[in-house]
Amino acid sequence: MDWRRIPLSALIGLVLTLVIVFIAVFAPWIAPYATGTVVGDVWAPMSDKALLGTDNLGRDLFSRMVHGARVTLMIAGAATALSFTMGSILGFVAAVSGGRLDQFLSRTVDLMMSIPTLILALVVLSVLPSSVTVLVLVLGFLDSTRVFRLARAVAVDIAVMDYVEAARLRGEKTAWIVFSEILPNALTPLVSELGLRFIFAVLFLSGLSFLGLGVQPPDADWGAMVRENKEGIVFGVPAALIPAAAIGVLTISVNLVADWVLTRTSSLKGGRGNG
């Protein structure tokens, strides 16, 4: 890869994303304190002992930011993987099979999408225990409806191509057509949507945590840290603004990388077609 050809915006986004991922992966070695360790007074200013100051309970904000990055990326990444696996496969199967199966899956997804996502998540999480597994399943399941609609729309156009019809005439099974014919030709729009769905998962998780139904104490993600320290904004304490800024930086950086990947894959595909 020629790094000189990468646009400046994409390079900035890539560097910021890699830095956040590095921090999340090596969080136990980077953070000077454990998540719940009290190191000073409530909302103490920045010092050598607490690089970003302390939070509403006197815990080191820097350590909680580092551990929060790990929790945020882990849950959002797992939920995105689940939503894409479920949504894309079901969307491809619906487009290739057609008939009653397509109608059943499409109408079920329409019914799910007619209910506001946040309200549905709040109802489910108010009944089920708020664990990491439940959060991943809820986020992944709700987001899979959007992936299903995109995957089906893309697969419907591909399913009428001559090479897909030839595969059907050869007697290939649905699974073979989906993974060998549909999936390779649907990667370009799906790669772009992958970044957007990950951003949605981060923002949705942060919103749930801010409302108290996301990650539960003593663990915390960035959204929960904003909720814990929101009262400090009145007194000019930046403890709530720092995790909010981290969410914004992660969102923008991933979006910049996703836009560059979409542009690159589209241009490569167009170049091959012209050749």
pTM, full prediction: 0.86
Would you say residue 6 has pLDDT above 50?
yes
Contact 80, 140 (CB under 8 A): yes
All structural domains of the chain with their residue ranges? 18-274
- Compute the average pLDDT of residues 17-30: 94
99: left (phi over 0), alpha (psi -120 to 50) or beta: left
Torsion of CA 96, 177, 184, 275, to 10 degrees: -100
Look at the alpha carbons of 263, 265, 270, 272 in this order and tell me if their dihedral is positive or negative.
Answer: positive
Write the single-letter amino acid at 272: R
CA distance 123 to 127: 7
Would you say residue 120 has pLDDT above 90?
no
Task: Give the gyration radius of the chain's Cα atoms.
Answer: 22
The CA angle 252-10-258, to the nearest 5 degrees, is: 65
Question: Which of 21-25, 201-205, 230-234, 246-250 comes out lowest in average pLDDT?
Answer: 230-234
Which CATH superfamily hosts domain 18-274? MetI-like (1.10.3720.10)
CA distance 135 to 128: 10
- Compute the average pLDDT of residues 164-177: 78
- pLDDT, residue 82, reads 94
230 DSSP assignment: G
- pLDDT, residue 243, reads 94
Write the single-letter amino acid at 252: I
Torsion of CA 140, 150, 265, 25, to 10 degrees: -10
Q: Give the whole-number percent of the chain exceeding pLDDT 90.
A: 35
- Number of Cβ within 10 Å of residue 26's Cβ equals 12
45 DSSP assignment: P
